[in-house]
């Protein structure tokens, strides 16, 4: 990355006009709840704090005139920052009981609770603070406008910091989880989403943040496809779309500027970062804060981007290896089908059917994906079958069938030599996709759940496709005839649960056949 050692030297700072009441962004007020049975207290509190402002935000008052009303209102507004609670309302300890309900029943440990009492003798300060989880205790007579202002300011600052810490903790947990999984799922969007949310919390940023990924070709950098791969706040609607054009014009200009200069851009309240992975992929990160960002903030973000680029490279490398592995497996499967003088699309359709069925009956994505990758090798053993049998037109005689059946054992024998997960799955498929639910299949005569689930899925997928495809010895069957056959063989040839799923999802199966059609014979 250019100037990576001194990012502050390369930072572009944009002078912004001073915010005025007309152009200053509106921010929601801090929620402050007044819980008191005296309407006059509500009015006095509102008047005393009418011009209150903290961190660029005013106040949003919520009013409850009894402990019961307060409890209900807090359930509806769990994001209330501060509650000013009267001790004596419906009865002498109504406020104290409400405090216990808020903390122990509602489980709200974040809200700052300030008890106010006009009868301090009934609830001594020391006893109340010791027994109840409150943050301050004030006598109404001593709570002047200035003291109320100071008390509220301190409480709001405390609530803000607690919420930021909690959000940061949650974000960090997502980052740790995503970091651990990125080498399993290779999900860059999920990884960046967690880190993005952590940065937002860490820097007291607004919830509006996003990461933009652009095409790496120079000729398409400014006018090519732009994809949002991670987002928070109001940008979430753009996630996974090319709808970046819906951003405000000044943001589109900033995107173009950052792509052109390949340098971070810092405005008052906005940060645009840039990094380019070694593979040439260009990425932009945008963070929005209504508080000015310092150079230290920007440098921290830039450090994050450098680390993301490393993770990104690892992801791309894995995708390349995974793609190569899939291609090799498909080519091997297609080579076997070509030798059988059958369409190579058979292996692709069987792989898709296997994945579709596996997910449909509840297998995890990883298992279903493993099965999909392994499925093209289900007939791998045909490599050991003589051409005279493999290419014969018409039905095979008894001796020829005995030879043909050997392909299941041959495939299992060859593939099981590897300890790799995918080849182990392929060995199971090759050796068991001709077994039958009632035990009349081959090569081992397994029955019911003795047959591995991969083999049971593969059996249905293979027959469904074989019946609907041209073969050297037959014409393709119509769909209804295939479905009738599945019904007839339910509980005999096939696992009943798998047949039931296929019969209930025929359109999904047919869509696979349409996606990978046979070459006309």
Q: What pLDDT was estimated at residue 48?
A: 92
Are 420 and 449 contacting, i.e. CB atoms less than 8 angstroms apart?
no
Q: What pLDDT was estimated at residue 159?
A: 94
Domains of the chain, CATH where assigned: 7-16+162-316 (3.30.450.40), 30-158 (3.40.50.2300), 340-515 (1.10.3210.10)
Question: Cα–Cα distance between 77 and 83 in angstroms, integer?
Answer: 11
Burial of 108 (0-12, 13-18, 19+ CB in 10 A): middle
Burial of 52 (0-12, 13-18, 19+ CB in 10 A): middle
372 noted as active-site residue:
no
Are 49 and 149 contacting, i.e. CB atoms less than 8 angstroms apart?
yes
Q: What pLDDT was estimated at residue 259?
A: 84
Q: CA 385, 386, 392, 398: dihedral to nearest 10 degrees?
A: -70
Q: What pLDDT was estimated at residue 342?
A: 57
- Nearest Cα neighbor of 229 from 296, 322, 298, 311 is 311
Are 212 and 244 contacting, i.e. CB atoms less than 8 angstroms apart?
yes
Catalytic residue among 31, 213, 372, 382: 382
Global pTM value: 0.49
Q: What is the mean pLDDT of each run of 10 residues along the chain (521 residues)?
A: 41 44 61 95 92 92 96 96 94 91 93 85 64 85 86 94 79 55 52 62 55 35 60 73 72 84 80 72 74 65 66 68 73 67 74 96 93 90 85 82 91 89 92 96 95 97 91 83 97 97 97 84 51
């Amino acid at each position: 990355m250019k100037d990576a050692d001194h990012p502050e030297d390369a930072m572009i700072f944009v002078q912004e006009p001073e915010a005025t009441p007309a152009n200053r962004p509106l921010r929601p007020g801090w929620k402050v709840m007044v819980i008191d049975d005296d309407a006059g207290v509500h009015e006095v509190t509102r008047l005393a704090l009418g011009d209150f402002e903290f961190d660029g935000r005013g106040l949003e008052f919520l009013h409850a005139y009894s402990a019961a009303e307060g409890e209900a209102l807090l359930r509806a507004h769990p994001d209330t920052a501060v509650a000013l609670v009267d001790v004596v309302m419906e009865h002498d300890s109504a406020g104290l009981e409400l405090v216990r309900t808020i903390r122990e029943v509602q489980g709200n440990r974040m809200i700052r609770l300030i008890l106010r009492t006009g009868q301090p003798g009934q609830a001594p300060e020391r006893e109340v603070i010791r027994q109840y989880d409150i943050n301050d205790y004030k006598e109404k007579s001593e709570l002047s406008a200035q003291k109320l202002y100071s008390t509220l300011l301190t409480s709001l600052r405390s609530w803000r910091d607690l919420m930021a810490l909690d959000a940061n903790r949650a974000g960090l947990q997502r980052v740790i989880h995503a970091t651990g999984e990125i080498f399993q799922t290779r999900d860059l969007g999920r990884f960046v989403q967690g880190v993005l949310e952590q940065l937002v919390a860490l820097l007291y940023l607004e919830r509006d943040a996003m990461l933009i990924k652009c095409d790496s070709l120079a000729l398409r950098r400014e006018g090519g496809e732009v994809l949002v791969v991670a987002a928070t706040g109001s940008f979430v609607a753009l996630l996974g779309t090319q709808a970046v054009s819906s951003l405000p014009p000044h943001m589109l200009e900033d995107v173009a500027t950052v792509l052109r200069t390949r340098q971070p851009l810092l405005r008052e309240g906005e940060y645009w970062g840039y990094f380019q992975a070694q593979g040439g992929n260009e990425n932009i990160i945008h963070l929005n804060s209504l508080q000015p960002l310092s150079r230290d903030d920007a440098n921290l973000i830039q450090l994050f981007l450098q680390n993301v680029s490393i993770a990104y490279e690892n992801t791309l490398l894995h995708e390349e290896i995974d793609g190569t592995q899939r291609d090799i497996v498909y080519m091997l499967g297609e080579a076997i089908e070509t030798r059988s003088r059958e369409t190579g699309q058979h292996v692709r359709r069987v792989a898709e059917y296997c994945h579709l069925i596996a997910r449909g009956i509840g297998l995890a994505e990883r298992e279903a994906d493993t099965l999909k990758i392994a499925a093209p090798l289900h007939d791998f053993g045909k490599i050991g079958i003589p051409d005279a049998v493999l290419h014969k037109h018409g039905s095979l005689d008894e001796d020829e069938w005995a030879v043909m059946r050997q392909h299941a054992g041959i495939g299992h024998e060859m593939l099981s030599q590897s300890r790799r997960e995918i080849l182990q799955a392929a060995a199971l498929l090759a050796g068991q996709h001709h077994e039958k639910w009632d035990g009349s299949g081959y090569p081992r005569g397994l029955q019911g759940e003795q047959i591995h689930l991969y083999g049971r899925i593969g059996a249905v997928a293979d027959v469904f496709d074989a019946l609907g495809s041209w073969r050297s010895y037959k014409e393709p069957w119509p769909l209804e005839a295939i479905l009738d056959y599945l019904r007839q063989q339910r509980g005999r040839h096939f696992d009943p649960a798998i047949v039931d799923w296929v019969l209930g999802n025929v359109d999904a199966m047919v869509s696979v056949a349409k996606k990978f059609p046979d070459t006309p014979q």
